[in-house]
């Protein structure tokens, strides 16, 4: 695949690299005396020199050889004594919007942590603003050195016929996007039921991607590891980040898939399978690392791929193997290893100098041979992006939410009623389909906070007065008050949860007024608000500001009684209609095993 993410294509500068390697011309940059993490041979080589020209590695001084012959009067020389030189880290699957910032600001947050490339699926923006919104989002990315490699969203909507989104993306759209210079693969194919049923648009999106010689990234959380998984892989889908156990990882690896091992802000999956994977001795060349979703406070307080590498090593993975999963393995899967993923002659000079191979603290970060971050600080600072107006005015609810809006009438006598509810597991994307009893008062179903049963509502925010809304119940959050957010995967409709109708109405009105975001309300007061005016998903402020607001929301959650990690992120997948078992969309409950609609009342 042609790589459009390097400073200079190899075919334009190979003669220059030949001359620099032989000492006939000086290098632009020479890094001296580094311990090289060689991901090609799985070894750490001491006292290595690296010479760079045209944004690419021209020469490696190994086995006592040096790059002194490459140094001229204007050559920048960096002494890396005591430091480890590793290829720049790459995140194999990420939704930038989950950090509530644009791509340029995301770059400012992650590049200082050694991240030089991301493979991002913008299906959050795609669901709200379609492919034009996706294109606008990635114009922002062109302003920064981070290599933002795009995988256009395949599932808008995520599953057909069960929810209403702000846009729809077709196989024709995917065909057109494959000609974009920043597209390298198809975004995660979440609609695995559509693949198994050979639904025309779904299977055609895969066909268009394969015809363009790109890979198809996947999302297969189904327990079916026999016919269903085989069929999914046979369709052309070649990777998956939705694994919750070692058995799932193993089943996918054995069928030739590339497995993205995930450790995000809320989906903390590495402990579930990595120790067993290490113990098994299984070949890990088809294993990649990814974060999937990061909240801004995670990036600011803990890091990005360096954080995942630390966790992997703490769980027993060899450091060089861990780095392979974030570099060469990733590049090989996406067909970019001829340019990215390793420090070798001819490759892009995406290099991170690390203190050690335990903490993975990045001292200097180079992208295409340019120093872009040093000692935890980005050396670039993009101005705020000028988002088009149609991306900052997307709250079209079509009604003024009041307490009566959240009343769930029922033709039952006062007492109790059995209802279907979503059971939440902290730190996981899965929900359970359970039955609970809730009070019936004045002809309406109510929450039961004493038994941790909260009311949930999802409103279509894209179609105004024509939009619909639906109600359900949830257990596991343990809060008093109400929470609302427009970060509600994947349609990103208005999601409201609470134990009383008055607070739920205030939460909804607050988000309508500010253009979307996240809010916590209790006893008639707004405790915390994160304004996300861009598609109801992203802020226009610096990541540090957004992180502080999210921290305030987290404190509000705790004040309201919640103890789970990243609760807003967990709440945000309650409407994700492609992950088992039960989800609520604006059309009602969806059984995500049978993909049929379910009633609220249980007889």
Report CA torsion sign: 248, 125, 98, 393.
negative
**pLDDT of res. 453:** 97
pLDDT tens-digit readout, 266-303: 788 999 999 999 999 999 999 999 999 998 999 999 99
Q: Which of 170, 155, 300 is nearest to 216 (CA)?
A: 155
pLDDT band at 200 (very low <50, low <70, confident <90, very high): very high
**pLDDT of res. 427:** 65
Tokens of 133: 């919104």
CA–CA distance, 232 with 226 (Å, rounded to integer):
10
**pLDDT of res. 142:** 94
pLDDT band at 603 (very low <50, low <70, confident <90, very high): confident
Close Cβ partners of 427 (under 8 Å, ≥ 6 residues apart): 266, 267, 268, 564, 565, 570
CA–CA distance, 498 with 456 (Å, rounded to integer):
7
Q: Does residue 100 register a pLDDT over 80?
A: yes
Q: Which of 163, 175, 174, 198 is nearest to 121 (CA)?
A: 174
pLDDT tens-digit readout, 201-248: 999 999 999 999 999 999 998 889 999 999 999 999 999 999 999 999
Strand intervals (E) in 355-505: 362-367, 370-374, 377-378, 408-409, 415-424, 431-441, 444-445, 453-459, 469-475, 482-485, 494-498
Q: Which of 516, 509, 550, 512 is nearest to 532 (CA)?
A: 516
Q: Does residue 111 register a pLDDT over 90?
A: yes
Within a 10 A sphere around the Cβ of 355, how many other Cβ atoms?
13
Q: Does residue 428 register a pLDDT over 90?
A: no
**Secondary structure letter of residue 68 according to DSSP:** G
Q: For 546-564, what is the mean pLDDT?
A: 93
The structure tokens 């590695």 sit at 57
Q: Does residue 6 register a pLDDT over 80?
A: yes
Supply the DSSP string of 483-549, one letter for each residue.
EEES--TTTT-EEEEESSHHHHHHHHHHHHHHTSEEEEEETTEEEEEEE--BTTTB-SS-HHHHHHH
pLDDT band at 113 (very low <50, low <70, confident <90, very high): very high
Q: Which of 255, 330, 252, 328 is nearest to 290 (CA)?
A: 330
Supply the DSSP string of 547-572, one letter for each residue.
HHHHHHHHHHHHHHT--SSSHHHHHT
Q: Does residue 576 register a pLDDT over 90?
A: no
- Backbone φ, ψ for residue 432 (5° rounding): -110, 145
**pLDDT of res. 232:** 98
Structure-model confidence comparison of residues 267 and 261, the more confident one: 261
Within a 10 A sphere around the Cβ of 10, how many other Cβ atoms?
16
In the chain, what are the domain boundaries? Answer: 86-152+221-381, 392-598
Q: Does residue 1 register a pLDDT over 70?
A: no
Q: Does residue 579 register a pLDDT over 90?
A: no
Q: For 103-114, what is the mean pLDDT?
A: 98
Q: Does residue 540 register a pLDDT over 80?
A: yes
Residues in a beta bridge with 400:
none
Tokens of 357: 């191979």
pLDDT tens-digit readout, 351-366: 999 999 999 999 999 9
In the predicted model, what is the mean pLDDT of the chain?
95
Q: Which of 255, 595, 593 is nearest to 430 (CA)?
A: 593
**pLDDT of res. 159:** 78
What separation in angstroms does the CA of 396 have from each of 214, 232, 465? 36, 37, 8
pLDDT tens-digit readout, 21-63: 999 999 999 999 999 999 999 999 999 999 999 999 999 999 9
- Backbone φ, ψ for residue 155 (5° rounding): -125, 75
Structure-model confidence comparison of residues 512 and 569, the more confident one: 512
Residue 428, classed as helix, strand or coil, is: coil
- State the CATH architecture for 86-152+221-381: Alpha-Beta Barrel (3.20)
Q: How far is CA 465 from the centre of its chain?
A: 32
**pLDDT of res. 569:** 78
**pLDDT of res. 4:** 85
Strand intervals (E) in 223-309: 239-240, 258-262, 287-290
**pLDDT of res. 130:** 96
- Backbone φ, ψ for residue 253 (5° rounding): -60, -40
The structure tokens 């639906």 sit at 470
What burial class does residue 199 get, using C-beta atoms within 10 Å of its C-beta: 0-12 exposed, 13-18 middle, 19+ buried? middle
């Amino acid at each position: 695949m042609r790589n459009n993410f390097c400073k200079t294509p190899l075919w334009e500068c190979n003669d220059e690299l030949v001359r620099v390697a032989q000492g006939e011309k000086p290098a632009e940059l020479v890094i001296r005396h580094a311990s090289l993490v060689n991901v090609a041979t799985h070894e750490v080589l001491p006292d290595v020199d690296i010479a760079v020209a045209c944004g690419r590695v021209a020469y490696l001084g190994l086995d006592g050889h040096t790059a002194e012959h490459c140094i001229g009067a204007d050559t920048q020389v960096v002494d890396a004594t005591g430091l480890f030189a590793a290829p720049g880290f790459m995140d194999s699957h990420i939704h930038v919007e989950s950090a509530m910032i644009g791509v340029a600001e995301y770059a400012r947050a992650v590049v200082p942590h050694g991240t030089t490339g991301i493979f991002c699926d913008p299906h959050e923006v795609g669901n709200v603003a379609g492919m034009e919104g996706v294109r606008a989002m990635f114009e922002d990315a062109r302003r920064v050195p981070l290599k933002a490699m795009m995988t256009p969203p395949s599932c808008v909507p995520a599953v057909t016929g069960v929810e209403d989104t702000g846009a729809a993306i077709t196989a024709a759209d995917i065909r057109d996007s494959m000609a974009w210079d920043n597209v390298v693969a198809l975004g995660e194919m979440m609609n695995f039921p559509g693949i198994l049923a050979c639904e025309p648009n779904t299977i055609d999106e895969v066909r268009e991607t394969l015809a363009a010689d790109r890979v198809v990234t996947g999302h297969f959380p189904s327990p079916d590891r026999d016919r269903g998984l085989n069929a999914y892989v046979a369709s052309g889908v070649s990777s998956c980040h939705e694994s919750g156990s070692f058995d799932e990882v193993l089943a996918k690896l054995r069928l030739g898939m590339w497995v993205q091992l995930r450790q995000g802000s809320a989906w903390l999956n590495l402990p579930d399978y990595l120790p067993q994977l290490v113990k098994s001795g299984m070949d890990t060349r088809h294993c990649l690392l990814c974060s999937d979703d990061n909240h801004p406070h995670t990036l600011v307080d803990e890091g990005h791929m360096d954080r995942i590498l630390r966790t992997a090593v703490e769980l027993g993975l060899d450091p060089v193997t861990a780095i392979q999963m974030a570099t060469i393995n990733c590049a090989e899967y996406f067909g970019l290893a001829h340019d990215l993923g390793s420090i070798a002659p001819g490759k892009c000079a995406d290099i991170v100098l690390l203190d050690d191979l335990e903490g993975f603290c990045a001292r200097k970060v180079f992208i295409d041979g340019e120093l872009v971050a040093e000692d935890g600080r980005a050396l670039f600072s993009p101005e705020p992006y000028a988002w088009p107006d149609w991306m900052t005015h997307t709250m079209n609810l079509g009604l003024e939410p009041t307490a009566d809006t959240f009343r769930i009438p029922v033709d039952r006598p006062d007492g109790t009623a059995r209802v279907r509810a979503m059971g939440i597991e902290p730190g996981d994307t899965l929900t359970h389909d359970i039955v609970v009893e809730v009070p019936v008062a004045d002809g309406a179903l109510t929450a039961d906070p004493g038994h941790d049963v909260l009311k949930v509502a999802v409103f279509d925010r894209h179609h105004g007065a024509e939009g619909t809304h639906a109600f359900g119940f949830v257990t596991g959050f343990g809060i008093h008050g109400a929470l609302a957010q427009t970060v509600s995967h994947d349609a990103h409709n208005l999601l409201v949860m609470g134990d009383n109708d008055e607070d739920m109405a205030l939460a909804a009105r607050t988000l309508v007024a500010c253009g979307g975001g996240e809010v916590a309300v209790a006893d008639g007061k707004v405790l915390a608000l994160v304004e996300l005016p861009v598609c109801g998903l992203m802020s226009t402020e610096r990541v540090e500001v957004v992180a502080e607001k999210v921290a305030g929301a987290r404190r509000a959650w705790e004040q309201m009684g919640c103890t789970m990690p990243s609760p807003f992120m967990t709440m945000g997948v309650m409407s994700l209609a492609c992950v088992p078992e039960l989800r609520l969309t604006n059309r009602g409950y969806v059984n995500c095993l049978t993909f049929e609609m379910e009633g609220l009342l249980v007889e």
